Structure 1
Amino acid sequence: MPSPQQARAQASAITSAPAAPEPEPSPASQLRALFDRPRLSPGQRRIAQYLIENLTEAAFLSITDLADRVGVSQPSVTRFAAAVGFSGYPALRERLQSMTLGTRGGAEEHRGNELQAAVDAEIENLENLRRDFADPKAVIDTGRALSRSMPLTVLGLRISVSHAEYFAYAARRIHPDVRLVTRGGSVAHDALLQSREAGGTWVLAFSMPRHATETLVAVRVARRAGLRVALVTDLALGPVAAEADVTFATGTGSRLVFDSYAATGVLCAALLQAMTDADPERTQVRLEAYEQLAEEHRFFLRD
């Protein structure tokens, strides 16, 4: 009899055919697509990221206020508007306002406490991720690529260690050679070079705020070594994303002292599902072997 995890692996394969009409992309996704210009300067990327993260407020700011919030000059904002295809800042602001008024329609005034507000923010992040998943092709394709990489390296430094550890722990159940890198500097450098020499082709990297300089350095080392990089982050237009081959950007909860990562956790589970779908026979063999090992050594309590 298959274990619950084996049964779930068989029953939860990702399908690319939508069960219902595709919903409108989330405002954050629309802005990422709008601002995805390879020649944006670092200052322009800061403006773009501020607008993505603060749409409902930023859509009604004057050019002076927006420049002050981001820490750039007013001419920089004007040049940014032109760089992303608008005649000027007023035209860009009009577009932003139409987007945010659409998201506000029917929304009730928040009356809860700060903890409830934090949950509401994460619900919004999950809703945005659900809209992004309307087209699962990027997740499916990346899962296949990660599944084929022998070995597969998973990188997470500082606050991102916990995400990398979770992903690597689960991936080892379905992939024969997963290498976890949670230390930066020369240690990460060595690990990445060894992975490439052993035949690895991909690295899955996590970069969550506050974004570590050593993560950017490690991703650059991986690219120079010939490894491709899939990045999970909150910054679709950040400097680390600029170095990645594919980027999955999910919102993080920032209403409390420390960030929360509900959408990031779901995205990780989706990538793991895509890896199981990529090689279902290997998945079942490995899960069965693990269940036998767990039973033999009594890894888990009986519920």
Structure 2
Amino acid sequence: MPSPQQARAQASAITSGRTAPPAEVSPAARLRTLFDRPRLSPGQRRIAQYLIENLTEAAFLSITDLAERVGVSQPSVTRFASAVGFSGYPALRERLQSLALGARSGAPAEEIRGNELQAAVDAEIAHLENLRRDFADPDGVIDTGRQLSESTPLTVLGLRISVSLAEYFAYAARRIHPDVRLVTRGGSVAYDALLQARAAGGTWVLAFSMPRHAQETLLAVRVAREAGLKVALITDLAFGPVVDEADVTFATGTGSRLVFDSYAAPGVMCAALLQAMTDADPERTQARLEEYEQIAEQRQFFLRD
């Protein structure tokens, strides 16, 4: 049996020359086929029936809203998504939205979706729209940004595939924060860095956990908590063992249409937290940025446009 990534490689091929199937099937029929699992619990069957009967509305509901509409818990919705073959609710919602868009226009979902690259962009747009709705109440981002700003040193943790996001955040944060420590290696190296950060007076860690979620990230987060550090987490999951260990979680969707995930929404989430850190101490921010610009000019860090 192929791995999930191998299956995605086959399904998202952009040079295969495949064409959409000629037969048109209704969105409701597609969902019934998708949800045809003999081992679904009664609660999961209720979720499936609600989605089939209310596709055009349900496809754009948050996990909280869907759980309330059906009368089940949020973990039940997550388990349902897994039971019908998805990595989580965000991946299931992507599929529902694709079907819903096709139903609204009267055209098959594949036709609306376009090719695989366009579908990947559409999925990222949906994640960004969800993030925009989350930002309607910015207090959580503002408060977390302030606390990250006050933590000296501030530790940024990202292992395996999450390294790129952690490096971006740490690079930018160093322009506005006096002591940012980047941890991109797991095991005892991460443990040493976390314990040293706490001993030096640090109070917070910003951790990233992107699919596939690394066991060593969970272990590092647990070490941070045991050392007395608080953890802010950017991930694609609303539930799970890493989320359970975090003090604050920002769950954003990741693009999963192609072989390797894309991170438009997590990238914007990073920029939002950086903005909140900037706003938390404007005088320090201005002084550090001015100092950096002077050094950059003297050392000619950048090409002149």
TM norm structure 1: 0.71
Match of 1:221 in 2: 223
Match 2:276 to one of 274, 279, 284: 274
Q: Letter of the aligned partner of 1:197 in structure 2?
A: A
Give 2:157's aligned residue.
155
**Is 1:210 aligned to 2:212, yes or no?**
yes
Aligned with 1:129 (options 90, 115, 131): 131
Select between 225-234 and 93-102 the one with higher mean Cα deviation. 93-102
Q: How far has the Cα of 1:233 moved from its partner?
A: 0.5
Name the structure 2 match of 1:116: 118
Mapped to 2, the partners of 1:132 and 1:255 lie a distance apart of 23
Q: Deviations over 1:218-267 (max 9, x none)?
A: 00000000100000001111211111011111111111111111111111
* Superposed counterparts of 1:1-303, under 5 Å: 60=31, 65-66=36-37, 73-74=39-40, 77-78=41-42, 81=43, 89-97=44-52, 100-102=55-57, 103=60, 104=100, 107-108=104-105, 109=109, 110-303=112-305
Work out which structure has the larger RCO, using CA pairs closer than 8 Å and 6 or more positions apart in sequence: 1
Q: Which residue of 1 aligns with 2:64?
A: none
CA deviations over 1:30-83 (Å, ceiling 9, x no partner): xxxxxxxxxxxxxxxxxxxxxxxxxx99x945897457xxxxx54xx34xx4xx
For residue 206 of structure 2, give the secondary structure of its aligned residue in structure 1.
strand
Q: Do the aligned partners of 2:35 and 2:48 also contact (CA within 8 Å) in 1?
A: no
- 1:222–1:111 Cα change, 3 Å: closer
Amino acid at match of 1:272: L
In structure 1, distance between residues paired with 2:178 and 2:220: 23
C-alpha distance in structure 2 between counterparts of 1:99 and 1:284, whole Å? 51
Q: Taking structure 1 as reference, are residues 115 and 193 closer, same or farther at Cα in structure 2, changes over 3 Å only?
A: same
- Determine helix, strand or coil for the equivalent of 1:209: coil
DSSP 3-state at the match of 1:125? helix
Distance 1:98 1:289 in 2: 60
Pick closer, same or farther for the CA change 1:176–1:100 going to 2, 3 Å: farther
Secondary structure of the residue aligned to 1:154 is strand
Q: Per-residue CA shift, 1:199-233, capped at 9, x if unaligned?
A: 10000000001111000000000000010000000
CA contact (8 A) 2:56 2:104 kept: no
Deviation track 1:15-42 (CA, whole Å, cap 9, x = no partner) reads xxxxxxxxxxxxxxxxxxxxxxxxxxxx
Q: 1:61 to 1:231 in 2, by over 3 A?
A: farther
Q: Distance in 2 between matches of 1:107 and 1:252?
A: 25
Write the letter of the residue equivalent to 1:116: Q
CA distance in 2, matches of 1:150, 1:111: 47
Q: Which amino acid aligns with 1:101?
A: T
Q: Deviation of residue 107 (structure 1)?
A: 4.6
Separation in 2 of the partners of 1:259 and 1:96? 26
The number of equivalent residue pairs is 232
Give the superposition deviation at 1:91. 4.0
Give SS of 1:204's match.
strand
Q: Provide the aligned C-alpha RMSD in A.
A: 2.4
* Distance in structure 1 (CA, Å) of the matches to 2:169 and 2:176: 11
Cα distance, 1:99 vs. partner?
6.1
Provide the residue aligned with 2:77 in structure 1: none
Structure 2 length as normaliser, TM-score?
0.71
Shift of 1:301: 0.6
* Cα distance in 2 for residues equivalent to 1:235 and 1:111: 25
Task: Give the partner amino acid of 1:277.
Answer: D
Identity rate, percent: 73
Q: Tell me, which stretches of 5 or more residues in structure 2 are unaligned?
A: 1-26, 61-99
Q: Name the CA shift for 1:225/1:107 in 2 (closer, same or farther; >3 Å).
A: farther
**In the TM superposition, what is the alpha-carbon distance from 1:92 to its structure 2 partner?**
3.5
1:162 and 1:134 mapped to 2: Cα distance? Answer: 27
The match for 2:92 is none
